[in-house]
Structure 1
Amino acid sequence: MDNREAIGSWLSGPRAAAQEMGADFGYRGKRLGLPEEGSGSIAPVGRRVGALFIDWALCALIAYGLLAGRRLEGTNNWALVVFVVMSILTVGTVGCTPGKRLLGLRVVALDGLGRLPMWRAVVRTVLLGLAIPALIWDRDNRGLHDRLSGSVQVRI
């Protein structure tokens, strides 16, 4: 084996090396029965992160408004509280937060691909608020918070 070939396989990661050996992973969402493109397909990571930033900015603005005239040291803590409450209420009722709606995303339950029940929206949001579960992904780009709540973010 040429050194360049060995270094190239190391740099491209285990997925690329497995695909070179003949493993077929398919597209993201194939194992979940989702389409490859269009409505109902796995939401792209960039849109998900963008929606999170929009939601966080909205929650920080609301927290700032709630704390107007008071000391502002705890604004981030209140923003997290507002974020958790907003996420539970919006995902549990309409299936998307304001940021997800603006960017054309929705959270659905995998068992039937309908709206996520409120108790599962609570589990998902609490895990998302802890941050670490959201940073652990599977090969379908689902965070641990989505896996444990039986949900997936899809395009509208």
Structure 2
Amino acid sequence: MSDAEGAEEAQFQYRGNRLGMPEHGPGSVPGIGRRMVGLVLDWLLCVLVVSAIVGGAGGDPAATSSASSATLLLFAVYTALMLSVFGTTLGKRITGTDVASTGERPLPWPVAMVVRTALLCLVIPAVVYDLDHRGLHDRAAGTVTRRL
């Protein structure tokens, strides 16, 4: 372990303390479970919308692939737009979370939300996270998920 990593861990007391966030209550960093439930709710909403538009795929692999691509595209547009305008999505709102800027990146808010969403759709950046439970998508965009 390097000296920088040791110093970083020494400063760590709870999720979000290094970002100036409270340990509990509004403004604190939620656990992974709450964030995953919000993500699943948003994904299911997009699946329902795409299914209503294109109908059931049945057993046709081409239709299933097309519906999956449409769902991912809708999810990306929906997430980036909702986060840009409201700072939260329906799934996040139901789970009592939103996304806030940490001020560490000079990106305009809508650009940060597009970067964050694009990396979220790649999945891997979202599942690799730090002590503050910020995924690589949050770190790249200079954002953090917090409780409402």
Superposition deviation, residue 25 in structure 1: 2.6
Q: What SS does the aligned partner of 1:152 have?
A: strand
**Structure whose residues are more often helix by fraction:** 2
Say which is worse superposed, 41-50 or 68-77, in terms of deviation: 68-77
Match of 2:44 in 1: 57
Distance 2:56 2:26 in 1: 45
Aligned to 1:33: 20
1:12-57 per-residue CA deviation (whole Å, 9 max, x = no partner) reads xxxxxx8xxxx56311111111011110000221110000110010
User: Could you say which residue in structure 1 is the equivalent of 2:68?
Assistant: 76
Corresponding residue SS for 1:43:
coil
- For 1:76 and 1:39, how far apart are their aligned partners in 2? 35
Aligned residue pairs total 133
Match of 1:85 among 77, 84, 98: 77
SS in 2 for 1:31: helix
Indicate how the Cα distance of structure 1 residues 111 and 57 shifts in structure 2: closer, same or farther if over 3 A, else same.
same
Give per-residue Cα distances to partners, 1:103-141, cap 9 Å, x unaligned: 1000010129xxx71111000000001111101101100
TM-score, structure 1 length as denominator?
A: 0.79
Question: What is the percent sequence identity of the aligned residues?
Answer: 42
| Residue ranges of structure 1 left out of the alignment (5+ in a row) | 1-17
> Equivalences for 1:1-156 in 2 at 5 Å?
23=10, 25-68=12-55, 72-73=63-64, 74-111=66-103, 117-156=109-148
Aligned residue identity for 1:143? G
Q: Gaps spanning 5+ residues in structure 2: where?
A: 1-5
Higher relative contact order at CA 8 Å, sep ≥6: structure 1 or structure 2?
2
Given that residues 116 and 138 in structure 2 are in contact (C-alpha distance below 8 angstroms), is that contact kept between their aligned partners in structure 1? yes
Q: Which moved more, 1:64-73 or 1:38-47?
A: 64-73
- Aligned-CA RMSD value: 2.0
